[in-house]
Chain A
């Protein structure tokens, strides 16, 4: 709880700073693009969560690969970074494979992999935020969102999508390095006005061409006290390759706290 308070204060401070920097936004009755994205950022920061999910990868020709996994995650003390443990259940030949990621928003994340056939934990030095998240069309940066200041946000308009009112916010990288790291020249996100969870997002590649579209058709308030939400389903299509990924969550449980030693390489080796 203390952590959450701390993080709220931090964000408040940031907001005050921003208000000072951009007075013309401060007097607007409407929330600014930055405000919206900040609310969006924290809306999904569930303190701890257990779930099972099914990832369906479909290529251009309609061929599919299905993966089932069980995940556990906790929010780290800074209120921003997450620790994530994934255990793969399906297909059979990768059953028991484990994946552990400890996010560090200011540097490269730590990643480990456990292969049951090798009975060894190995550090996985993958590249950066723009790389594919476990072989899907999501990048690591899409799944574990970067801090709000990474991008400059501008509220474009409000729009109804499938009966839900959304803010439409355009986000552009704060600098060239960010553009390079995340691989987007901009992204446009439709944020639900009701709960600040994203409804849809469009991502544009380095040269400004539409790269991907993500839709989040349904969300659930998994932590009613803290008003934290989780997407029940995310779908993303890469327009340039025709490849698509659907991620469906099941058995969401934010009530059980997950012990910190869950997120260690020793635990990873337990194959469960």
Chain B
């Protein structure tokens, strides 16, 4: 059947090529309509308690897309007219950006930054800085006022006075879409203020996510860099234009088809999937190399390009279809995942691999039959021994001599070490940790983070049973206690703020500024009356950031010095333990905010990725067992990929690379590619065993053909990925390194360990010929007369 099919394809090659090119052009046009999701909220597990709390906070208190702008004085403190004037212009500029949550913008220059001062006969509430002080006396008064209101110290002015900050918050809408837009808008406000007198820093979740988008877009360039390296390695492997062109053409067209179908079906792409095209390219090139290798083999035998195309395809087509189908189905299984990005990953990869299969069955054979026949020296070189033959033969000899202690003994040591290393892997996501120390993200964030309370936010949301619940003194005491606890126990918590701070300050002010009264009032009425009093002199929105309109819900803001999810989960864990001791039972206390969302994402994405590795592995096992009609066969197919995953985790454990969203993705890739290696090796071995009955020769031929192809592919993909190590983005650099490791390990496993285990255990699905069901396998298994 395959023979007839491929003969038809070759006969109508021009039609096939034209059709494939037309389809490619069509899909290429569809890429334009590809929707790219930039809001990671779409990827957040909406049922996660941290995400629920954050959504609630957003509903009550405004946006969650924080930007922190720091203005550091180069000469002395920021209490200089010129610097304060900058602060005023910056604040005004930020307030004019569409989508800004005006009530959540605070700086020394903002109207809601009020000085609550006590005097002998009462309380005075003034805007901290209504106008830039014009003389030394006014300046001294401003300085005194700022430090008399501790709520502002380390939030909008640093303890030492050398830095001031503007904290702003945005919501997305018609006029403001995506983090890049926020960053660009903020820059237009900030850039004119840069000069020799100040250093201006920008940070906060929005800015960092904007950088993530920018780095993810660089994947497009990296994709082509990887492509160039893969091409170079393929050229070195085959030493022919065809060896370079055909796999790359397959890979590129598969990626175009994959992206095109995504665009056509309106499946959104996201930044986490920026590396997926490289995976598709790797898998597609892998299949192509196997077929090409076989083509050269057959051409060397038949000396006719067209016949060689037909012969090679007839033999290897079914294997490719089997391996491809296994991969497609395994990745498609991920479509059932609740997390959008994993669904996209699964669907996109499945479409890409399916496209590669389709192209290998249509366009590529038609195209290859059109190409000039390989020149004589090409095929000769192909058939003659190259640098790989010696090591490959040595491997075969070790296996054939049944030197199991050598193979498994040598293997046991690193394997044990790697398994030990796996136990040392820590799960931790740090968005900023992904950027190198000399990247703009870190250069801006590090001084800002050090100078102020911190650029990472964690919120504690307190929801009372009814309106005015927050005025309950015991709740305010509990909020204060939480703040004191956080401040005392964690160096990482640089600042906390809540309504309790204002009430303490007002109590003191109403008692003639007596420091003994800097404590929370004891009655609900007094709390209510202080808040009312404040509302009479302040603006209606002054407390919007801290308490909701009917005083049912309040929030404690904590500014953190780190965005490491491991550190944050530790803090959250402690807080959750003390919450029930502090708050009355009828109050609901939950934790949210940018950092808690990161923790939620960490939780779900890492678990999700690990689970999806499990799902893919299970599907591969099931499908390959079914196809090879042996429950054992599936286990053998899994060997290279299981070893690659162990190696990855083991090396991560020993090198201190943390398991995060990026590194978890590597394993999923290793699984996808590793299965193909095993399938090509197993099928070829079986073919050779059945053809000659000579097991020794079968192994030598298998390793010399399919085995070498595996090495070429692993080299090409590993080298292609290692280009990522050159980027300044940690997530991508680690991805490059770990994929290279995964390729090396799965390749070695496929050509050494897998055959060794097969020869050691002699499973029936390889060594005893049996009838196969279905045309596919029958064609493939039909005895072929040696030339």
Residues of A that sit less than 8 Å from B by CB = 57, 59, 61, 63-65, 88, 91, 93-94, 97, 99, 112-113, 115-118, 120, 122-127, 131-132, 134-137, 180, 240-241, 243
Contacts and interface: CB of A to CB of B under 8 A. Distances in A.
A93 B528 contact: yes
A180 B119 CA distance: 26
B550 interface: yes
B119 A125 contact: yes
B528 A136 contact: no
B538 A132 contact: yes
A97 B127 CA distance: 24
Given A115-B530, A117-B528, A240-B102, 10 more contacts: A59-B549, A63-B548, A94-B532, A99-B536, A115-B510, A115-B529, A116-B525, A122-B123, A125-B119, A125-B125
A93 B524 contact: yes
Contacts of B550: 63-65
Most central of B125, B471, B528 by chain A CB within 10 Å: B528
Contacts of A137: 540
B529 A135 contact: no
Interface of B: 102-103, 119, 121-127, 130-131, 468, 471, 510, 521, 523-526, 528-530, 532-533, 535-541, 548-550
A96 to B, nearest CB: 9
20 contacts: A63-B550, A64-B550, A91-B528, A93-B525, A97-B529, A113-B533, A115-B510, A116-B525, A120-B510, A122-B121, A124-B125, A125-B124, A126-B124, A132-B535, A132-B538, A134-B536, A135-B535, A135-B538, A135-B540, A243-B540
Contacts of A113: 122-123, 533, 536
A116 B529 contact: yes
Contact of B549 (A65, A97, A126): A65
B541 A241 contact: yes
Contacts of B468: 91, 93
Contacts of B471: 93
A132 B540 contact: yes
B121 to A, nearest CB: 5
B537 A124 contact: yes
A99 B468 CA distance: 22
B125 A126 contact: yes
Nearest to A240: B102
A129 to B, nearest CB: 13
A122 B533 CA distance: 10
B510 A136 contact: no
Contacts of B549: 59, 61, 63-65
Nearest to A115: B529
A93 B374 CA distance: 93
Nearest to A114: B529
Contacts, number: 105
Given A93-B471, A116-B529, A126 B537 contact: yes
A94 B524 CA distance: 10
Contact of A124 (B130, B521, B536, B539): B536
A127 B122 contact: no
Contacts of B125: 124-127
Nearest to B59: A61
A61 B130 CA distance: 29
Contacts of B130: 127
Contact of B123 (A64, A125, A134, A241): A125
Contacts of A59: 540, 549
A93 B524 CA distance: 8
B214 to A, nearest CB: 32
A122 B510 contact: yes
A59 B547 CA distance: 13
A181 to B, nearest CB: 10
Given A115-B510, A131-B537, A125 B126 contact: yes
A4 to B, nearest CB: 31
Contacts of A118: 510, 526, 529
Nearest to A62: B549
A123 B539 contact: no
Closest 5 CB pairs between A and B?
Answer: A123-B122, A125-B124, A135-B535, A93-B528, A122-B122
Contact of A117 (B121, B124, B525, B537): B525
A65 B532 CA distance: 12
Contacts of B102: 240-241
Contacts of A241: 102-103, 540-541
Contacts of A131: 537-539
A123 B533 contact: no
Nearest to A122: B122
A93 B124 CA distance: 23
B119 A135 contact: no
B168 to A, nearest CB: 16
Given A91-B468, A99-B536, A113-B536, A124 B525 contact: no
Most central of B119, B121, B535, B536 by chain A CB within 10 Å: B536
Contacts of B537: 124, 126-127, 131
A240 B95 CA distance: 11
B529 A94 contact: yes
Nearest to A183: B111
Contacts of A127: 125-127, 130, 537
Given A240-B102, A243-B541, A126 B536 contact: yes
Nearest to B95: A240
Nearest to A58: B549
A55 B529 CA distance: 17
B540 A124 contact: no
A61 B548 CA distance: 11
A117 B523 contact: yes
A91 to B, nearest CB: 7
A120 to B, nearest CB: 7
Contacts of B535: 132, 134-135
B466 to A, nearest CB: 12
A116 B537 CA distance: 18
A89 to B, nearest CB: 13
Contacts of A64: 549-550
Contacts of A116: 525, 529
A139 B121 CA distance: 24
B529 A124 contact: no
A65 B550 CA distance: 7
Given A94-B532, A122-B123, A122-B510, A136 B525 contact: no
Contacts of A136: 540
A88 B535 CA distance: 14
B528 A94 contact: yes
A118 B529 CA distance: 9
A64 B131 CA distance: 33
A16 to B, nearest CB: 38
Most central of A65, A123, A127, A243 by chain B CB within 10 Å: A127
A139 to B, nearest CB: 10
Contacts of B127: 127
Nearest to A137: B540
Contacts of B538: 131-132, 135
Contacts of A134: 535-536
A64 B548 CA distance: 11
B122 A124 contact: yes
Contact of B533 (A61, A124, A132): A124
A123 B523 contact: no
Contacts of B530: 115
Given A132-B540, A136-B540, A123 B119 contact: yes
Contacts of A243: 540-541
Contacts of B124: 124-126
B541 A117 contact: no
B589 to A, nearest CB: 21
Contacts of B122: 112-113, 122-125
B106 to A, nearest CB: 15
B536 A117 contact: no
Most central of A59, A118, A180 by chain B CB within 10 Å: A118
A136 B529 CA distance: 16
A65 B531 CA distance: 13
A268 to B, nearest CB: 12
